[in-house]
Amino acid sequence: MADLAERRRHLVDELRSEGIRDERVLAALARVPREAFIPGEARDDAYRNSALPIGEQQTISQPFVVALMTQELSLTGAERVLEIGTGSGYQTAILAELSAEVVTVERHPSLLERARAVLDSLGYGAVELHLSNGSLGWPRGAPYDRILVTAASPDVPEPLLGQLGPRGRLVIPVGSTTQQDLLLVTREPDGVRSRKLGPVRFVPLVGQAGWHPSEDWPTANGG
């Protein structure tokens, strides 16, 4: 356990050196045990700064990407956050550390139940988890102060824009099956604005407002 804690601290120092500047985000990554969210032998690589497989052709996101996406949400602790793509539950736990409420949606039952079990075991039982198509968001709980999408879409899904509250911030990877940009979308009094944060590669956001399930999709390495 001491070795894992040391490796976690080293990873946090690495992320700081790579440009993550929000100390609250870095502190959250220092508290959350990433190894708990990784199945099987891949757990030995928990504190490598890379994406890792978690089953169902999905990945646990690269720690730098988790930190960057979380940082761009500009969380203060008072926000209601919608996460699209629960996956392993790791990003969910980071959001729970930094916000008032987290609602998360996952389309794979096996991943959702495993994430639920890990989150409960670590004391994140207040997170609201739903089995649903993420491209449609979770309208029952809208509006949200922040929305974070952990899968790539061909464009920003209209259902998610419709669930973003005033002054809200949405972070999402958008692009083709081979090249995507991470976008920060903000709802301002004069309309919706977007800004590119850098190139990424994520698994697809599958569903009515995302990609068709039969789309040919290469292996993700940045999501």
Q: Which domains does the chain have, with CATH numbers?
A: 2-200 (3.40.50.150)
What is the radius of gyration, based on Cα positions, of the chain? 16
pLDDT at 221: 45
Percent pLDDT > 90 in the chain is 84
Six-digit token string for 123: 């004391």
- Number of DSSP helices (H) and strands (E) in the chain, helices first: 6, 9
CA 171 vs. chain centroid, Å, equals 9
- Residues 201, 177 contacting (CB under 8 angstroms): no
pLDDT at 223: 40
In one-letter notation, the amino acid at residue 85 is G
Question: Which residues, listed in sequence order, are joined to residue 84 by a DSSP beta bridge?
Answer: 105, 149
Active-site hit among 50, 61, 121, 194: 61
pLDDT at 1: 54
pLDDT at 178: 82
User: Cα separations (Å) of 1 from 13, 33, 35, 192, 205?
Assistant: 19, 10, 11, 46, 35
Which portions of the chain are predicted below pLDDT 70? Answer: 1-2, 214-223
Q: Would you call 61 a catalytic residue per the annotation?
A: yes
pTM (2 decimals)?
0.93
